Amino acid sequence: MSTQSRVQLANGSNAFVAPSTKYIDGQIGLTWYYDDGTIKAQVEGYITARSDLKITDHNNVVYYGRFTGINVSEEVGYSSSRYDIQAEFVIMPGLE
């Protein structure tokens, strides 16, 4: 038994596609480059306060959850502080 589906293309030929899940409950990673410290301070504040958040992605999919961790790398060689930030956001569907 296969999970593939047959799809007829515009030229009449057949293609076989396998379904996939793009979004699942769990943890997602968010990354910011060249932050001036603003995002860094906000995410650190959310983690400290254990704030429940609502995030909407570019496809208008809404996630509810919390930031649980942050990894900050300071960029050197600039006159002002710049950071590359990676943050973990845990999806908590029960917060809806």
> For the segment 45-88, what is each residue's pLDDT rounded down to a tens digit?
999 999 999 999 888 888 899 999 999 998 888 777 899 999 99
Q: Facing residues of 28 across strands?
A: 89
Percent of the residues in the chain that have a pLDDT greater than 90, as a whole number: 40
More confident residue, 46 or 15: 46
Burial class (CB in 10 A: 0-12, 13-18, 19+), 73: exposed
**25 falls in which pLDDT band (50, 70, 90)?**
low
**26 falls in which pLDDT band (50, 70, 90)?**
confident
Query: Do 68 and 88 meet the contact criterion of CB atoms below 8 Å apart?
Result: yes
Query: Do 95 and 64 meet the contact criterion of CB atoms below 8 Å apart?
Result: yes
Tokens standing for residue 89: 């956001």
Write down the pTM of the prediction: 0.66
Question: How many whole angstroms separate alpha carbon 41 and alpha carbon 67?
Answer: 13
Question: How many whole angstroms separate alpha carbon 74 and alpha carbon 82?
Answer: 6
Tell me which residue of 88, 35, 39 sits closest to 63, measured CA to CA.
88
